[in-house]
Amino acid sequence: MGWFRYAKLIAIIVGAMFITITRFNLKPKYIKYGVFLVVFGLAFNIFEAVTQDFSQPHLPNKLNALAGFLNVLTIYLWSTIRIDDKKPHNFQWPGMTIAWIIAYDLWNICFVYLNFPNTVHYTALAVIPVPTIIALYVVSGKFAWLQARAYSLVFYMIYVVTISTFEIPVSLVEPLPRGDIWIWSLVVLSLGSNVILLVLQYRYRLTGKAPEKLDVGQRAVEGKPPLFG
């Protein structure tokens, strides 16, 4: 299965463990360290995929690697992360905007399609959309996208690696068609959404000006936006 899936499995298990430890075991004065490790884990998780994409010889992979790198640059407002006082003590990130989540989702779907087309059905229809749906529509899951993403991905990665041990096919469906139209459409969506987010978000960071209808961080911050953090 190559190095990527095993590296991803270990990284996401560690990330999910840190989220759980931060939620239920850390004293308040130590939570900021747990938050830092979780944010670092998110960036590291994306960089793993960027490395995989960039190592491929094809231009679409390299362009999608650039989209992933831009996505890391727009991870923002981790200083707003908190642990909900109410049970089940969700790991909440008010500064994690829907705009960033959508740009991440498009990049990730493109990455899976380019590198693991036989599993793109699972990721595009379930593993990636579920945390986004929770963040958008589930009241108890408000601001908890990262927590939902970590837990859904860790269960999926355990499933993928476990069934490979028993030599059971990972995919029960045929891959999506492979063709230039599919490939370049996904690459344009992935790279385009992340370029737009980068421009709008850094405009907000530097000038305080933000779109009226698109949240790039302004709804979680009062006063002058921080450049980082």
Query: What one-character DSSP code corresponds to residue 123?
Result: I
Amino acid at site 10: I
165: confidence class by pLDDT, cuts 50, 70, 90: low
59: confidence class by pLDDT, cuts 50, 70, 90: very high
Torsion sign, CA atoms 196, 199, 203, 206: positive
Q: Are 217 and 94 in contact (CB under 8 A)?
A: no
* pLDDT tens per residue, range 10-21: 878 888 888 888
Q: How far apart are CA 174 and CA 166, in angstroms?
A: 20
Q: How far apart are CA 141 and CA 91, in angstroms?
A: 9
pLDDT above 60 (res 1): no
Rounded average pLDDT over 44-71: 95
* pLDDT tens per residue, range 129-157: 989 998 888 877 789 999 999 998 888 87
Helical H segments across the chain, by residue range? 2-24, 31-54, 59-73, 98-115, 120-122, 129-137, 145-165, 180-207
- Rounded to 5 degrees, φ, ψ at 180 are -60, -35
Q: How far apart are CA 24 and CA 65, in angstroms?
A: 35
Structure confidence at residue 122 (pLDDT) = 73
Q: How far apart are CA 185 and CA 181, in angstroms?
A: 6
Query: How many residues are listed for the chain in this entry?
Result: 229
* pLDDT tens per residue, range 71-98: 999 999 998 998 888 888 888 999 999 9
Q: Are 48 and 8 in contact (CB under 8 A)?
A: yes
Torsion sign, CA atoms 78, 80, 84, 85: positive
Rounded average pLDDT over 152-168: 74
Which residue do the tokens 């933000």 mark?
210
* pLDDT tens per residue, range 32-56: 777 888 888 899 889 989 999 999 9
